[in-house]
Amino acid sequence: MDKDTKIIMKKKLNITDLSGEKVMVDFETGKYFLIKGAGNDIWDMIQVETTPEEIIEKLMQEYEVTREECERSVYEFLEQLQKLNFID
């Protein structure tokens, strides 16, 4: 995945919001994922097609973080979602 890869949520998941954390469950596969912190912001952004670069730029406006830290966190998060087959 590079900075210009188009990303969007792949399919409908059962999402429950618990005190600022999201729990996502794919009942077809039994896979689940817990999101907290900036992960919530990333998840909200991928409801429509976006790129890692757009996500990084938006997060850097919201949080006091270096570009290097932000890039690393965003790519790690997106890779986890990709492994679970939650994003295209």
Q: What is the pLDDT of residues 22-76, one digit of tens each?
A: 998 888 888 888 999 899 999 999 999 999 999 999 999 999 999 999 999 999 9
Query: For position 27, what pLDDT does the model report?
Result: 87
Rounded distance between C-alpha atoms, residue 19 and residue 87, angstroms:
24
Phi-psi map region of 37: left, alpha, beta (phi>0 left; psi -120 to 50 alpha): left
**Domain-wise residue ranges, the chain:** 14-83
Contact call for residues 25 and 32 (beta carbons, < 8 A): yes
Query: For position 88, what pLDDT does the model report?
Result: 82
Q: Which two tokens stand for residue 41?
A: 């912001």
Contact call for residues 52 and 70 (beta carbons, < 8 A): no
Query: For position 9, what pLDDT does the model report?
Result: 86
pTM, rounded to two decimals = 0.85
Q: Which two tokens stand for residue 26?
A: 């794919």
84 exposure class (CB count in 10 Å sphere: 0-12, 13-18, 19+)? middle
